[in-house]
Every structure is written in C-alpha cells, then in structure tokens.
Structure 1
Amino acid sequence: MTHAVPAQEDGGATILEIGQQPDVWREVAMRSDPAVDGFLSELTARSDLRIILTGAGSSAFIGEIAAAALRRHLGRRVDAIPTTSIVASPLDYLEPTTPTLMVSFGRSGNSPESVATTALADELIDDVWHLVITCDADGALGRAHSGRSRSRVVATPERTNDTGFAMTSSLTSMLLTCLRLLGPATAEDGEALARAAEQLAGRQADIKALAQAKKQRFFYLGSGPLAGLARESALKMLELTAGEVVTYFDSPLGFRHGPKSALDGDTLAIVYVSADRYTQRYDLDIVAEIRAQLGTDAVTVISSAAIPDALVLSGLDGLDDALIALPYLVFAQYLALFTALEHGKTPDNPFPSGEVNRVVQGVTIYPMTENGR
C-alpha cells in the first residue's frame, strides 16, 4: 500500500519513512535465509576470526551501536571502523594475516568509499569474506559482491531505501538485520521493538513541543552502544536543520571532560539511559548534574526502565542496549524532523543548492602503490 507524500511543511517523505519503521522491523525480524545463516555459522565458528563493521556516516554508526553486542554474543573480535578511515589509511586498520569477515552497510551502496573498502580488503587481507547489508541490492556495492563465493548480499525490504535526505528506516533496518544475523536479536524481539516505536509515534505532540522551544544547542549523551546512538542523533539533527543548530555527542562520563563547557541556557540535553543497571548510575548522575545547572526542562531522558521525569518506553525488559537503540533512534529522528520544520527547512532536501548530497559526491579513490603508501 502506498501513501501520498505529505507536503514538505508536513514532513514530506521523511515523516512517512520514520513512521514505517515498526512494520519494517516486524518484517526484518521474521526473515530467514538458510544459505546466509550457513555461510555465517561456518565463519563465526572460527576462533581466529575478526569481524569488521563498516560504512560511511550513519552507516558507520550502525557498527558503533552493534559492535559490543556482537562481541558478547559471538565471543569473537568485532571492530567498528568507518569506510572513510579504511580508505584513507588502509594499513592502519586491515591486518593481512588475520582472517576477516567484513560486514558492509550501505543504504544505496553507491558511496565511493563503499566498494573501495571491500576492494582494499580483497587486496590486502589473505583470507577475507564479505557480508553486504544494503537497502538496494542493485547498488554498486551489491552488484560488486553478487554471485561471489566469499560474499553474501542481504537486502532489507525495498521500502527502506529511503527517498528522503537523511537515513531513517534504512539505518534501523540494516542495524536490526545485523543484530538478527550475527547478534542477540530474535524474531520475537521485532515485535517488542515495534511496539516501543509505536509508543513514540503516539507521543509526537510531546516531541514537537521540544522542537517548538527552538533551542540552539542539542547535546546527545549515551554510554556503550548508546554512544554510537548519540553520535547518529547529533548527525540527524545537524543534517535535517542544514546546520542551523549546534549539535554535540558524548558519553555521560566523557561529557565532563571539556564538552560540558558548551552548556548554556539555550541548550537541550538528551540522555539515553542504558538498560544495564551499573551503567545507569552514570547516566542518571549526569542527568542530575545538568538539571541542577540548567533546570529540569533542559534535559530529556529516554529510558526503557521506570525513571522519574523520563520518557519511558515499556516492553523492552531484558534487551541489549544495541536493540533498545532502535526505538531510541525513532525519538531522535522525530526530534530532528520537527526541529527542522520549526526552522523552515525542507526535510527531504535540506540543501536545495546541493552543498551536501544524499549520496556523497566528489571523492577521488586513489590506488595503493606497490609499498602500500
């Protein structure tokens, strides 16, 4: 079923793509491909396997969110490294003699660094395999790995190939796919996550009220996997407002080591509370500290546990922070969208003059020399 795209002042395609995520997650969580499962089971049985999670921009932050959960679940080395870092300095990140599974994320798979990263891995690593998770199997990355014996291409549902500028359902569908294939996510988790996102859809008026305050500085704070979420949240706000607001991200503990200097009366801090009770204590300490400095309304707390003065998402008990990040991301997307609208932006194309593009342009990929430098 297709829906008419709202006018830009009503959220455009972006608000539809944010809103479709609960149904997308239900579908993704129920998917199974025995051929892909067998491919990955054989690899992850190797005790010497290294897994690299890679992508550019928002796709890189998928790896930052997922890495710890995969590390715990598989008992294997898992590193999140952006394609932009690998392409610029491959010998600093790729280990020639370490058997490696490279998991590449790409909405379209057409970013210049995407194919270049997997080509560098093929060139520099003796034993390398590829798992490509993309929203467009016909993109450059999907085509490059289609039919290869050491590669598998997994496409998310077609509707997740967002037409809006910012990655929303594309990002969360790739994250959930990764956690389903290699991590702790189960088919049943998809329903719990979808219901939590639906709770946020029902709280749009509250999120709009935060946007209507028109704060000029947004701080996003999260620990562990939620640090990657904080980074993605800050980018989403920066993108959709076309840079008209200042955004920061950090961990609650790291925040005190300098970044706290930027707090002022025109700040909204968003603190993502971990499901881990030990980590929660650090999250709640920074909430109390900022509220003491700027007032209760200066901090919005998102939690899966019952916490006073927090936006609480129920039904997520027992889930890893990497999974809880999914509905937390929906909050961040709505807040960025509604803030952009308050600033008069066109969310599907915040940069109509083309200063920043949906798919990165202008990148030259240079060949490695004989000596790698």
Structure 2
Amino acid sequence: METQPARRGALAQSWQRLVAMFVKEFIQLRRDRPTLGMIVGIPLIQLLLFGYAINTDPKHLPTAVLVSDDSPMARAVVGALRATDYFNIKYIATGEADADEYILSNRAQFVIQIPPDFSRRLVRGERPSLLIVADATDPTATGVAVAAALGAASQALDRELTGPLASLAQTAPPFDLQVQRRYNPAGEARRNIVPGLIGTILTMTMLIYTALSVTREIERGTMEALLAMPVKPVEIMLGKITPYVLVGGVQMATILIVASFLFHVPIVGSLFVLVPLTLLFIVANLSMGYTLSTIAANQLQAIQMTFFFFLPSMLLSGFLFPFYGMPIWAQYLGETLPLTHYLRIVRSVMLKGSGFSDLAADAGALALFALVAMSVAVMRFRQTLD
C-alpha cells in the first residue's frame, strides 16, 4: 500500500505541475497581445458604448419644414416643436416633392408642413390642419417625438392668442395636428428589424469567411505553394473574395424570401436597386475581413478581430438602437461603418421605394470603405512567409 508520505509527495508534485501550467498559461497570454487586447478591449467597448452612446430616447432628430404661411402664428408653432428638443430643423423644403426627397434620402426624420391659409383659418376659428410627416421605418426613433409634438401643440400659441383671440385659447389646441407615419403606420418592429437582419447576417458571415482565408492557408502550409505561383497579391485577394460574393448573394435571396413570405415585410422598391447595392456592401465586408486576415497571426486572432469589428457595428449602426439617439461623437464613429449605410439602404429600398439617386451618399460611403479596405489589404499582404 502507498504510504502517507508517498501520497503527500505525489500531491505536492501534482500541485507543482498545476502551478507550472498556471504560470505557463499566463506567460503565453502575455505574449499573445491580440488576445490580451480583446480580453480587455471588448468589455471596455461594451461599457463605454452602453454607458455613453446608447440612448433609447433620441432627440434633435433631423427635420425639414415646409411653411407656406410665414406668419407669427406659424413661426410660433414651429418654435414650440423645436423647443421640445426632439426636432432639429435642418432643411427648408420648397415644395412637397422637395419634402418627400428629404424623407426618401434619409436626410430628414420628420417634415413639418404648414398650409398657406393656416393663420387666416385659425383666426376664424376653423381649426386648420398642421401636418407632421414621420419616417416610421424605425418606430422607436419617432414614437417619443410624436408624443412630444402632440403635447407641445396645446401650448404653442399661448402668447399669440390674447386680446380678441383669447377665446381661441380655450380650445386645446385651436388647430388640428395630424401625424402621418409613413412606411410603417402600424409601428411594427419586424418591418425595422427584418430588413436590418440582412445587413447584420451578411456582416458577420462575410467577415468570418474572409478573416480566416489567409490565416488558414498559412497554418495549413498551403500559402507557400500559393506564393510560389506567378500570382499578384490583388489577384489572390480577388480570387478569394469573389466566391463569397456569390455566397452572400444566396444569403440575401434567402432572407428576402423568408422576410416576404413568412414575416410579410414588403419590398416596395426595385430589386435592381437593392441587389447591386447589397453586392457592394458584401464586397466592403469581404475587403475588411481580408484586411483582418493579413493582420492576424492565426485563426483564433482572426475570429477575435472579427468580433472586435462586429460589436461596434451592431451597436453604432442603428440596428439595435436609434442612430440619432447617440451623441455626436458616436454618430461620427458610426458613419465610418459599412453596416450603418447599408441599413439605411435596405430599409429605404424595401419600405420606402427609394432609388439610386436617393441613396447616392450611402452608396458612395460603401464604395469608399471597400476601396480603402482593399488597398490596405493589398499593401499588407505578404509576398513571402517571413
């Protein structure tokens, strides 16, 4: 039988081996700086974004006004709406077509329309109509603002309705405020979420596919044979990216079919607009994934870098939280992400019927991102295995 001293000796040796493995893992983790950075960086990013950038009560929403009655009463109504802090009047529309263009191009979340006979009919006690057009593709971003507008309307003309007009102040308000929730009048969340899923799914899958492309070749030893061939770096990159463009197209088609037949999300716009812009978005993500693959030393680091890029994209793009609810610095950061621009594109085409001219700014941002990512990837690509 094993004696007690022998058992103690075996236990001490086991403890020493455990401590050695413990120290070895920390030394290896310290040398693996990308992994160490992810361990510290991802929780820090989550804390900062959720603490400072995320806000479910967006204010200062971009607004256009179409005022056909330049009277003190009309200006008082517009001023009352601005005073709620929910409406940031950035554009002056010259007509209804111009006002619609601000909505279709995603430059304005609201349009305030005041008819030409507003003050005359109000003085007569005829309760004229005032229209607020809301882009309801994101019901979370517009719901609170609409409620604030209804509340401000009852006090908008308190200073103007005095003297002979004091009797009109007894009605609350002396005009009819109509709210037109376009593109999603019922406020259905699925009309906002399901189109956005196209962008998030494509971002995740395209990044992972290409982020592993170069590192997998290196780890398997096939990169040496590839580099020995008379192939240029840009040709290798395009050769690796092109098959996944087709894969992304299949994913997009699958999601659109499910969205239409299962969730009954309409496709108001043209597929001839949506498909090319989606392919451009796919190329942008593949280029970013390829760039990450040239930085990562192994497949684990490639996956970690993918999540490091995907997390801000999810939080700052407007998919989970209203884009205009974030502070200005977070909006500027979100504008650099391809998912931000694609969410505007896919929602605008599917729900609004926007065309190429309406989405030129977002399409240009995607093209610029893809060009920069491709250029960085080509410059970083190693012709030899150093």
Please say whether Structure 1 and Structure 2 have the same fold, judged by a TM-score greater than 0.5: no
Greater strand share, 1 or 2? 1
Which TM-score applies when normalising by structure 1? Answer: 0.28
TM-score, length-scaled by structure 2 = 0.27
| Bigger Rg, structure 1 or 2 | 2
Higher helix share: 2
